[in-house]
Amino acid sequence: MIASDIYRRRRDELMNRIPEGSAVFLFAGKGRAMSQDTDYRFLPDRNFFYLTGLSYQEGKLILVREKDGTAKTLLFALKRDELTERWHGKRMPFEKVADICGISVEDIYDVSEFDEHAYPFLTGHVLYADGTSIADESKKFFVEHEAVEDIGYALTSMRMIKCDEEAKAIVTAAHITEDALAQIKPLVRVGVTELELYTALEYEMARRGSLIPAFETIVSIGTNSFYLHHSEPEDENGVTAKQGDIIQIDVGARCDGYCADISRVFFVGDCEDVEAQERRQKLLELIRTLRARAFEFIKPGESFTTLNREMRRITGETLLSWGLLSEGYTEEDIKNYYWHNTGHHLGLDVHDICEREASYEEGNCLAIEPGVYIKEWGIGFRIEDDVRVTKDGCELLSSGTDSDESIMVEVRK
């Protein structure tokens, strides 16, 4: 979905944001050791990927804007090597690398040549590197060279505005996620474990091409939903589903590097207790009200600050009517029930890099997740969908479903 000319335009835009006589150094990073001879599956530095579309280890990128206005791009990759590839897997030929990132094959070098080609730009140029990067090489670059400027601010502002192709990638990631959720719904029954649903979700996403989820999949049964990042699913020795339980799922696939973030709640049949049934339905209607208002509220000029304020206003008024809050309640009182913010930016990271307090702009992609948690009732949940800000509102990137049919599950044993 992301064509090479898009990566080329991004590099050009970045170079136009820095003065002449500058050189930008970006690094893909290296794999992280899992054990003595095994690494975790590799994901490149997100800004390196944003400018190249390349997912290989040890990649390096130099962007140069000379004092006469001319520009140079140098990319460093691991060249083909039969013996190394025999043990560590095949490497991409430079011709294929060039096709993906839109850099001429003549400007692509083996990583062993980096020092030689980098040296002329380390003196006589204003140096830039990415201060937001978690790659060790990026951190090391700031330490080893004096007066390095941070290019992270520019990349952050660029990444906050998604083009159509980026939005389509998030839509596809959302489809993968919701397809996986549809496949595992028949497994929801009395006695099901978190582990059973967790492994089924991971499998269904992987077989659709999402080998690395956007984040750790969350499956929470019953009061485990009060642990917002419950990422260690319990087996039959832990919590298992009972009739009337809620099952909170928070899950996201990746497509072309872009993340979905979707939360769904399943009701395992009706509650045996009438009051518990009524409370569960009241909370569902509140979440639906908050979702509808959020999708109506989001538009350019608003922000997470104003959205959170609106969500807490509605929540406070509702909780007062239910007798859970008293007249004169404060913002902190509401936060005892409305625990987390209503959303976050979405993109190459599930919590995508952003200026958190900035007003929404057309092209922002957001995950919106109003959630209310009532410990006195023993129940709490969120329903989350992904949206893109338009010129006068927002549009759904995921399905936005919260119908009774999508939530209620027939009791089976």
> pLDDT, tens digit, for every residue of 103-121?
999 999 999 999 999 999 9
Residue written as tokens 């990073």?
Answer: 29
Residue written as tokens 């095949």?
Answer: 90
Q: What are 51's two structure tokens?
A: 């400018």
For residues 375-386, one letter each, b for 16 or more C-beta atoms within 10 angstroms of the residue's C-beta and e for the rest, the string is eeeebbbbbbbb
> pLDDT, tens digit, for every residue of 48-79?
999 999 999 999 999 999 999 899 999 999 99
The answer to whether 94 touches 74, Cβ cutoff 8 Å, is: no
Alpha-carbon distance 150 to 127, whole Å? 9
Query: Could you tell me where in the chain the CATH 3.90.230.10 domains are found?
Result: 164-409
Superfamily of domain 164-409: Creatinase/methionine aminopeptidase superfamily (3.90.230.10)
* Model pLDDT, residue 350: 98
3-state secondary structure of 365: strand
Query: Of 406, 331, 336, 409, which Cα lies nearest the Cα of 375?
Result: 336
* Model pLDDT, residue 88: 86
- Which residues partner with 27 through β-bridges? 60
- pTM for the model: 0.96
4-159 maps to which CATH number? 3.40.350.10
Q: Strand 343-345 relative to strand 254-255: parallel, antiparallel, unpaired?
A: unpaired
Query: Of 335, 179, 170, 384, which Cα lies nearest the Cα of 260?
Result: 170
Q: What are 142's two structure tokens?
A: 């700031």
> How far, rounded to the nearest angstrom, does the alpha carbon of residue 74 sit from its chain's CA centroid?
29
* Model pLDDT, residue 366: 98
- pLDDT beneath 50, residues of the chain: none
Query: Could you tell me where in the chain the CATH 3.40.350.10 domains are found?
Result: 4-159
* Model pLDDT, residue 413: 67
Q: How is the chain split among helix, strand and coil, in percent rounded to 5?
A: 40, 20, 40
